Amino acid sequence: MGRHLDLTIPIKPHLKAYILDFYTLPYVLNQKHDLGLFLYQLLRRRQFRDRKYFSLDECTDEIQIKVSKRHGFNHGCIILHEYQVHLFNKYLEGQMMNHAITWIRAAEIAGMDNKAAIYQWIATYDLDDGSSDWYHRIKQLYFRFRKSKRIGAPSVP
């Protein structure tokens, strides 16, 4: 038996594409950055909600997580309940959307139209699936951000 225990976490395909931009899979659980801290605390959590509050139907892909035996046996990080999977996907989706705001703002400052920037972001993570829902969702989030920061459209020279 190796130094790690293997966990498989169901994940939405677009979130797997997003996580691959920042981490190498299989991901080795550690507490040196946000993802590791979140996963560590999530795996230690033992209070679960009933399945009726969420759905894992869209989690058609998976990622591998390597958990050290120390974290697994001493800290109880080996059990993964469906609610924890749901929370992990929600966390990654939030991270992805925050990154989208930053990316779209940078593209806008560089002179790109925010509509084009949003569609480019959607294409990067293959989010559309023939639907405009992602465009409206990201656009609404981005314009809420701009309003909260009182940011107008950048002036183009």
What's residue 74's pLDDT? 64
More confident residue, 46 or 31: 31
Reported as a single tens digit per residue, the pLDDT across 50-71 is 666 678 888 899 999 888 877 6
- Which residues, 6+ apart, have CB-to-CB distance to 146 below 8 Å? 105, 152
Q: Which two tokens stand for residue 118?
A: 């949003």
- Across residues 93-102, what is the average pLDDT? 94
Reported as a single tens digit per residue, the pLDDT across 105-135 is 999 999 999 999 999 999 998 887 655 689 9
Q: Which helix (H) or strand (E) holds 27?
A: strand 27-28
Backbone angles phi, psi at 49, to 5 degrees: -95, 160
Q: With 80 as the cut, is the pLDDT of residue 151 above it?
A: no
> What is the C-alpha to C-alpha distance for residues 47 and 96, in angstroms, rounded to an integer?
26
Q: Which helix (H) or strand (E) holds 20?
A: helix 13-20
